[in-house]
C-alpha cells in the first residue's frame, strides 16, 4: 500500500489535471499549408528542377513541424500522436500522387490518338515509324484470347471450388487448397515459359492466340477458384440442409440451390479474373508473337493483343508516333479493365448473398 500513494505523486505522467494546453483545431491544416509554402519556397529558392523534391521537402517539414509544435505545446504523448497522424496523412498523399499522375498522364496522352480511325484500323501497310494505324487487330486478338482463356479456366476453376467447398475433406482437398494459393503467385512469365515448352516446343504447335490463351488460363484458374470458394462459403448451410431434407440429391442441390444463390459473387470473381489477365503482357509476348494485320483465327498463326501492342509500339518503334499509339492502346486497355472492375463490383453489391456472415 505504501507504493500506492507514491505512484501518482512520483510520476508526473499520472498527474491529475484534466486541462492541458492544446493546439487549436486548425493547427494541422495550418502546419500543412505552412509546410507546402516552405517546401515550394525552398524548392524554388534552391532551383530544384523536380517537383518530386519540392513535395518531399514539404512532407518532411509537415511531419517534423507537427511533432515539434505539439511537443512544445502539448507534451510528448500528444506529440507522438500528432506525429503518427501526420505520417499517416503523408502516406495517403504519397498514394494519391502516383494514382493521379498515372491516370492523368495516360488519359492526356491517350486521347491524342484515340479516335474512330484508331479503333477500327490495324497496323497492316502502316509504316510503323510514321503516324496512323490503329489497334483493331489487337482488340480482336485480346478479346478472342481472353474469351478462350475464360472458357477454359472458368469451368475448371468453378468445379474445383465446388469440390473444395461442397465435397472437400481430407488430404487431396488440403493439397488442392494449398497449391491453388501457391498457383496465385506463379509469375506470368513462368506460366508463359511452361506453355511454350509444353505446347510449342514439345508438342510442336506454332505461335497462336490459343497458346497465349492457355497460359492466361493458368493464371486465371486460381483466381477463379479463390473467389468462387469465398462465395460458396457464404451460402448458409441451412439452405443446403433444407434442400437435402426435401430429398433433393446433392448434385442437384449444388446446381439448383447453392450456385444460383452465389451466382452474383461468382460472376464478380470471374470478371475480376478476366480483368486481371487482360492486362498480362509477358505470356502473350512469348506465345502470340504479335502481327500487324488482322487475324481473326486464334488457332492459326500469330495474332496481336493490346498489351503486346503497347510493348511493341514502345520498344520496337520507339519514337513519338509509337509512343502515341502505345498511349492510345493503354488508355483503351485501362478503360476495358476498369470497366470490367466497375461492372463486377456493381454486380457484387447488387446481388451479394444475404445472410451468411
Partner 1 sequence: MAKRIDVSGLSAYYGATRAIEDISMTIEPRSVTAFIGPSGCGKSTFLRTLNRMHEVIPGARVEGKVMLDDENLYASNVDPVAVRRSVGMVFQRPNPFPTMSIYDNVVAGLKLAGVRKKAVLDGVVEKSLKGANLWNEVKDRLNKPGAGLSGGQQQRLCIARAIAVEPQVLLMDEPCSALDPISTLAIEDLIGELKSQYTIVIVTHNMQQAARVSDRTAFFNLAGVGQPGKLIELDDTQRIFSNPSVQATEDYISGRFG
Partner 2 sequence: MTSSPPAAARGRARRSRSDSRLGDSIFFNLSRGSGILLLVIMAAIAGFLAYRSGIALSKDEGNFLTTFEWNPDAPKPVFGIAVLAFGTIVSALIAMVIAVPVAVGIALFISHYAPRRIAQPFAYLVDLLAAVPSIVYGLWGVLFLVPHMDGLTAWMDQYLGWTYVFDQTQAGVTPRNLFTVGILLAIMVLPIITAVSREVFRQVPRMHEEAALALGATRWEMIRTAVLPFGRPGIISASMLGLGRALGETIAVAIVLSANSVLSLHVLDPGGGTFAQNIALKFNEAQPFGRDALMASGLVLFVITLLVNGAARLIIARRKEYSGANA
Binding to partner 2, residues 5-64 (CB under 8 A): 48-53, 56
DSSP letters spanning 224-244: HHHHHHHHHHHS-HHHHHHHH
351 binds, among partner 2, partner 1, none (CB under 5 to 8 A by kind): none
Instruction: Give backbone dihedrals phi and psi of 28, rounded to 5 degrees, phi first.
Output: -60, -45
Residue 95 near partner 2 by CB under 8 A: yes
Residue whose CB is less far from partner 2, 41 or 125: 41
Distance CA 137, CA 301 (A): 13
Which partner in partner 1, partner 2, none is near 13 (CB below 5 to 8 A by kind)?
partner 1
Instruction: Give 6 or 237: the residue with its C-beta nearer to partner 1.
Output: 6
Q: Is 77 in the site for partner 2 (CB under 8 A)?
A: yes
- Based on the number of CB atoms within 10 Å of its own CB, is 178 exposed (0-12), middle (13-18) or buried (19 or more)? exposed
**Cα of 324 vs its chain's centroid, Å:** 24
180 binds partner 2 (CB under 8 A): yes
Which does residue 210 touch among partner 1, partner 2, none (CB within 5 to 8 A, set by kind)?
A: none
Tell me how far, at minimum, the Cβ of 254 lies from partner 1, in Å: 38
Q: Select 135 or 333, whichever has its Cβ closest to partner 2.
A: 333
Least Cβ distance, residue 66 to partner 2 (angstroms): 12
8 makes contact, choosing from partner 2, partner 1, none, with CB < 5 to 8 Å by partner type, with: partner 1
Shorter beta-carbon distance to partner 1: residue 48 or 71? 71
Cβ atoms 67, 60 nearer than 8 A = no
Q: Which is nearer to partner 1, 78 or 281 (CB)?
A: 78
The yes or no reply on residue 281 touching partner 2 (CB under 8 A) is yes
Core vs surface per residue 188-220: b (16+ CB within 10 A) or e: beebbbebbeebbeeeebebbbbbbbbbbbbbb
Output 4 or 203, the one with its CB closest to partner 1. Answer: 4
Nearest partner of 151 among 214, 193, 209, judged by Cα:
214
Q: Which is nearer to partner 2, 80 or 125 (CB)?
A: 80
Q: Which does 47 bind (CB under 5 to 8 A by kind): partner 2, partner 1, none?
A: none
Rounded to whole angstroms, the Cα distance separating 307 from 333 reads 8
Cβ contact 335:145 at 8 Å? no
Q: For residues 179 and 296, which CB has a smaller minimum distance to partner 2 in the complex?
A: 179
Give me the phi and psi of 302, to 5 degrees please.
-60, 145
Q: Tell whether residue 128 is a contact of partner 2 (CB under 8 A).
A: no
CA–CA gap between residue 188 and residue 201 (Å, rounded): 18
Residues near partner 1 (CB under 8 A): 1, 3-4, 7-8, 10-11, 13-14, 16-22, 76-78
Q: Does 347 bind partner 2 (CB under 8 A)?
A: no
C-alpha neighbours within 13 Å on the C-beta side of residue 11: 8
Give the footprint of partner 2 on residues 255-274 (CB under 8 A).
255, 272
Q: Which 194-233 residues touch partner 2, going by CB under 8 A?
A: 194, 196-198, 201-202, 218, 221-222, 225, 232-233
Give the three-state DSSP class for 303.
strand
CA distance 216 to 109: 28
Closer of 21 and 203 to partner 1 (Cβ): 21
All 3 cell numbers of residue 318?
Answer: 520507339
111 binds partner 2 (CB under 8 A): no
Contact between 291 and partner 2 by CB under 8 A: the answer reads no
Q: With left for phi above 0 and alpha for psi between -120 and 50, is residue 75 left, alpha or beta?
A: left
**What is the rounded distance in angstroms from the CA atom of residue 207 to the CA atom of residue 198?**
13
246 binds, among partner 1, partner 2, none (CB under 5 to 8 A by kind): none
Grid cell digits, residue 28? 494541422
The answer to whether the beta carbons of residues 186 and 223 sit under 8 Å apart is: no
Q: How far apart are CA 288 and CA 208, in angstroms?
A: 5
Query: Residue 84 binds what, of partner 2, partner 1, none (CB under 5 to 8 Å, by partner type)?
Result: partner 2
Amino acid at each position: 500500500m505504501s507504493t500506492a500513494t507514491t505512484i501518482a505523486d512520483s510520476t508526473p505522467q499520472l498527474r491529475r489535471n484534466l486541462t492541458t494546453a492544446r493546439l487549436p483545431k486548425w493547427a494541422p491544416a495550418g502546419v500543412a499549408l505552412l509546410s507546402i509554402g516552405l517546401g515550394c519556397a525552398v524548392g524554388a529558392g534552391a532551383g530544384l528542377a523536380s517537383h518530386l523534391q519540392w513535395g518531399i521537402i514539404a512532407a518532411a517539414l509537415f511531419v517534423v513541424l507537427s511533432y515539434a509544435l505539439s511537443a512544445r505545446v502539448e507534451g510528448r504523448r500528444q506529440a507522438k500522436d500528432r506525429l503518427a497522424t501526420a505520417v499517416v496523412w503523408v502516406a495517403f498523399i504519397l498514394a494519391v500522387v502516383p494514382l493521379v499522375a498515372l491516370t492523368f498522364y495516360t488519359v492526356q496522352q491517350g486521347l491524342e490518338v484515340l479516335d474512330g480511325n484508331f479503333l477500327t484500323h490495324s497496323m497492316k501497310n502502316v509504316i510503323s515509324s510514321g503516324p496512323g494505324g490503329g489497334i483493331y487487330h489487337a482488340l480482336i486478338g485480346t478479346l478472342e484470347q481472353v474469351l478462350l482463356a475464360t472458357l477454359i479456366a472458368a469451368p475448371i476453376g468453378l468445379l474445383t471450388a465446388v469440390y473444395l467447398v461442397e465435397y472437400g475433406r481430407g488430404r487431396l482437398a488440403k493439397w488442392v487448397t494449398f497449391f491453388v494459393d501457391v498457383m496465385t503467385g506463379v509469375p506470368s512469365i513462368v506460366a508463359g515459359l511452361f506453355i511454350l515448352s509444353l505446347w510449342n516446343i514439345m508438342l510442336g504447335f506454332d505461335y497462336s492466340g490459343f497458346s497465349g490463351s492457355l497460359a492466361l488460363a493458368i493464371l486465371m484458374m486460381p483466381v477463379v477458384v479463390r473467389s468462387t470458394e469465398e462465395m460458396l462459403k457464404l451460402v448458409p448451410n441451412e439452405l443446403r440442409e433444407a434442400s437435402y431434407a426435401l430429398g433433393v440429391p446433392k448434385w442437384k442441390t449444388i446446381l439448383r440451390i447453392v450456385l444460383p444463390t452465389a451466382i452474383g459473387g461468382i460472376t464478380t470473381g470471374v470478371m475480376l479474373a478476366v480483368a486481371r489477365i487482360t492486362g498480362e503482357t509477358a505470356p502473350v509476348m512469348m506465345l502470340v508473337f504479335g502481327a500487324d494485320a488482322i487475324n481473326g483465327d486464334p488457332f492459326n498463326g500469330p495474332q496481336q493483343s493490346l498489351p503486346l501492342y503497347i510493348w511493341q509500339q514502345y520498344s520496337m518503334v520507339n519514337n513519338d508516333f509509337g509512343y502515341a499509339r502505345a498511349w492510345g492502346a493503354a488508355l483503351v486497355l485501362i478503360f476495358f479493365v476498369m470497366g470490367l472492375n466497375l461492372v463486377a463490383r456493381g454486380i457484387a453489391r447488387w446481388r451479394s448473398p444475404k445472410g451468411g456472415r
